[in-house]
Amino acid sequence: MVEHRSNFLTPLTEYGARSVESKPVEPWTKISQNPVNGIETTVGSRVELECKASGSPPPEILWFTGSGTNEQLVEYVKANTHSLYDPSEEWKGVARINSKLVIECITPDDAGLIYCASVSAREVKVSTPTALLVNSEESASSNCTSESDPTITLYSPTRVANIGATVVLPCRASGKPTPEISWVDNFNVPLSLSTNLRHRVLDSGDLLIEELLWEDMGGYTCQAKSGHRQQVVSTFLYPLRVSLHNSVKCYRYYQQ
């Protein structure tokens, strides 16, 4: 029996390729950091699990609960994702993705095996499970109504995209109260003050960059802030020269 743990995360789009001659790269993905093996907690507490993945095309990450063989879990994920992969299209690029699952106010129903899955086109990798044990004899129910620090639950530490592409750098956060998300660009200018019309923060918190240029290369900082509390992460964006239907052998290290 397998069930969704959370909604699917917004996929990343429009990755690029270096100007090299080689055969198109087959989709691949790898989970580089599994969630912890087990957690024992109490009713009303808060739990965070982290999963890190890389892939080409850039992966989506899905959290779910259940049990079964690895083959059964992979088939379940494939049945609940919709791939638009077309091998005739140009190479879609490479990305690293970090995702956190935050479970507020734990109940006995949350106990079980929790997995993360990384999905790149038709390729799926499933993590080792986290066994979540809930001690119902103890309670931390007061935490259910208390405030919690802002936590960034999705971002991409590294992003590669074609010059000229439209790029979305993800940044999602949770917390009580709901955090406000802001960005600082690669010139250390807050996006709220920037006059660059190609850069725009979406309602989701993601950063949209249109018509990517070489000068867009660098680090972009996302800040999730709630009152006096905040969390900050960075994404390094690397623009590449466009070469249709070619691949990037030099990025094979992502798979190692």
- The structural domain count of the chain equals 2
Provide mean pLDDT across the span 53-69.
90
Query: 196-240 pLDDT, tens per residue?
Result: 999 999 999 999 999 999 999 999 999 999 988 999 999 999 998
Report how far residue 65's alpha carbon sits from residue 132's, in angstroms, rounded to the nearest whole number: 10
Report how far residue 36's alpha carbon sits from residue 41's, in angstroms, rounded to the nearest whole number: 14
Please indicate, yes or no, whether residues 151 and 77 belong to a single structural domain of this protein: no
Mean pLDDT, rounded, of the chain = 82
Please indicate, yes or no, whether residues 94 and 172 belong to a single structural domain of this protein: no
Per-residue pLDDT at 190 exceeds 70 = yes
Whole-number pLDDT of residue 90: 63
Please indicate, yes or no, whether residues 80 and 41 belong to a single structural domain of this protein: yes
Query: 85-144 pLDDT, tens per residue?
Result: 666 566 667 899 999 999 999 999 999 999 999 999 889 999 999 999 999 876 665 567
55 three-class SS: strand
As a residue count, the chain comes to 256
Instruction: Read off the CATH number of the domain in which 160 is found.
Output: 2.60.40.10
Lowest mean pLDDT among 21-25, 94-98, 162-166: 21-25
Please indicate, yes or no, whether residues 30 and 117 belong to a single structural domain of this protein: yes
186 token code pair: 């690669």
Domain residues for the domain of 74 are: 26-136
Report how far residue 113's alpha carbon sits from residue 244's, in angstroms, rounded to the nearest whole number: 43
Q: Among 103, 136, 169, which residue terminates a domain?
A: 136
70 lies in some domain: yes
